[in-house]
Structure 1
Amino acid sequence: MKEGPKTKEVIKDFFDFPWKSMIPQVKKLLEWNLVSYDRDTYALTPTGEAIVENMEKLLMSLNVHEKNMDYWIDHDLSPIPKDLLHRIGELGACEVLEPNLPSIFEQQEEMLKRIDGSSHISTLISIYHPSYLLPYSSFLEQGVDVNVIMTEQVYNILKGDTHSDITVSSSENTLSQSLKREYKKEIEILFKNGNSHISIYRQAVKPVSITVSDQCMSFSLLDKNGRYTNRIILSSEPTAIAWGEELFQYYKKRSDILND
């Protein structure tokens, strides 16, 4: 009845159940003013509509939690605003993307497949790794609009890489330095391309990462011990993409636009 009034025949056929056995439940709905009856047609009352909507949200939320219960139990959900957390059911048929140890970059490759062909991409970067920058520079060169939020710590590292020669230091191994040299061009593209819009997030509370495009959304959180687990929640459902965009905008409103 959420889609509109229904006759008893339609209701009976939908449930595939004898109407006589349904009469007691229908009478209760009428008595509680959740359903109205007129000209052999049953319809939800305004109160009934409100309850149905809330029941749907509850069932959606329970479904999301049940399918990925281990993730929700193990991770810190505090970076998700309460309003969005209450609407967690909008993630729909989400999945946990976890890389296999022999090939940790499979996770990134899978993400690239999901967002390939997107017209715009929004991402929050709070963990620095040179290889994370390559996809965004490639998208920018293709004319894709890219909105980036990065923490002040990540921003300082990237600006240091673009404004100085990278030399091996005692605090970093040679592989890390080699990767930085290889991706210096990509870092410069990220800062200088006209389709790149960068904001700096300086507050303490943050998810590890957020990525939203018109194809899919994903985010990751620290576990309850404050450790990075490299496990990503991912969904391609339209409601999840809209939910992810709200999460991104929540942090963008709390960030400073980079002018230089």
Structure 2
Amino acid sequence: MTSAETKQRLTQEFSGIKYILTSGMRSKLLLTLYEKAKKLEDLRKELQKPSATILHGLKELETNNLIQKEQKYYKLTSNGYLITTNMIKLIENWYSVNKSELFWNNHDLSDIPEDVLKNIYLLKDAKYINSTTSDLSNAYNTYIKLISTAKKMKMIIPIYSENHFKNIIKLVNGTKLEQLELIVSEELEKSMMKNETIRKSLMENEKVKIKIIKRKIKLFLTISEEFVTLTLFFKDGHYDDSQILIGKDENALKWALNLYRYY
């Protein structure tokens, strides 16, 4: 399929999506029927709308092969189920982005692959923390406190930071942290090798496994069994440790592991 044909097809599909999303009734009906089939009276009670309004919406969705009626029950077709699943994903993505709007809007996202960005909804319960004029180290101190409890960690480290390496070495030399995996760029690895303390404490430590990739990375990711943290770079190329995203649920860990595996 050529790009022109693809563009035309996507335009047609967008019209179909717009048809659903621009109608509160059509959208609500799909979302309401997503969990299970329902009778007209159930829909009327749940949506608090008259039967005529609901029946009009049902008829439109039935015409577009998104729902079907079996005896007295209305249910989603396979197409309807797929469309609604992705509509929910769109809504959750929208919510997740808006919830941490300053974090996403202020930073360079180019090193987060498209397939991972599409699943931002998995971070919908993540917490955005930023430093303030009264506490310039709020985000950083929150991060240090968080990693101090970890037993196993995976990290993508993009920068040479004495403070970060000092804290990582402290954890490796302690008794809590049992295993550490690091992903660093070739350039960062060379800088680490020049520092005797980092070389001996991290690069020659049995607890630590290091994966080296050729190019620079513009994100700082930390994953443990109980949390994930993400910090990014400003669009001008400078690293920002004043804003951090922290997730502690299974979905956030899933999102972070997908990003980690990519690198």
The one-letter amino acid of 1:72's match is W
2:163 aligns with 131
List per-residue Cα deviations over 1:84-105 (Å, max 9, x = no partner). Answer: 1222222113343222355444
Kept after mapping to 1: 8 A contact 2:36/2:75: yes
- Say whether residues 1:54 and 2:86 are aligned partners: yes
Q: 1:3 to 1:120 in 2, by over 3 A?
A: farther
2:239 aligns with 228
1:248 aligns with 260
SS in 2 for 1:212: strand
1:177 aligns with none
Tell me the distance in 2 between the aligned counterparts of 1:67 and 1:154: 33
Identity of aligned residues (%): 23
Tell me the distance in 2 between the aligned counterparts of 1:78 and 1:56: 25
SS in 1 for 2:222: strand
User: What is the CA distance between 1:55 and its match in structure 2?
Assistant: 0.8
User: What is the CA distance between 1:126 and its match in structure 2?
Assistant: 1.4
Kept after mapping to 2: 8 A contact 1:137/1:187: no
1:92 aligns with 124
Kept after mapping to 1: 8 A contact 2:37/2:74: yes
TM-score of the aligned structures, taking structure 1 as reference length: 0.77
Tell me the distance in 1 between the aligned counterparts of 2:56 and 2:202: 65
- Say whether residues 1:218 and 2:250 are aligned partners: no
The one-letter amino acid of 2:255's match is W
Kept after mapping to 1: 8 A contact 2:129/2:244: yes
Structure 1, gaps ≥5 residues long = 163-183, 252-260
How many correspondences in the alignment? Answer: 228
2:251 aligns with 239
SS in 2 for 1:111: helix
User: What is the CA distance between 1:83 and its match in structure 2?
Assistant: 0.9
User: What is the CA distance between 1:236 and its match in structure 2?
Assistant: 2.4
List aligned pairs for 1:64-143, cutoff 5 A: 64-101=96-133, 103-115=135-147, 117-140=149-172, 141=174, 142-143=176-177
Q: 1:113 to 1:29 in 2, by over 3 A?
A: farther
User: What is the CA distance between 1:217 and its match in structure 2?
Assistant: 1.7
TM-score of the aligned structures, taking structure 2 as reference length: 0.76
User: What is the CA distance between 1:143 and its match in structure 2?
Assistant: 4.1
1:158 aligns with 192
- Say whether residues 1:7 and 2:39 are aligned partners: yes
Q: 1:8 to 1:196 in 2, by over 3 A?
A: farther
Candidates 184, 196, 202, aligned match of 1:190: 202
Bigger RCO of structures 1 and 2 (CA < 8 A, at least 6 apart)? 1
Tell me the distance in 1 between the aligned counterparts of 2:137 and 2:97: 27
Point out the structure with the larger helix share. Answer: 2
Q: 1:189 to 1:7 in 2, by over 3 A?
A: farther
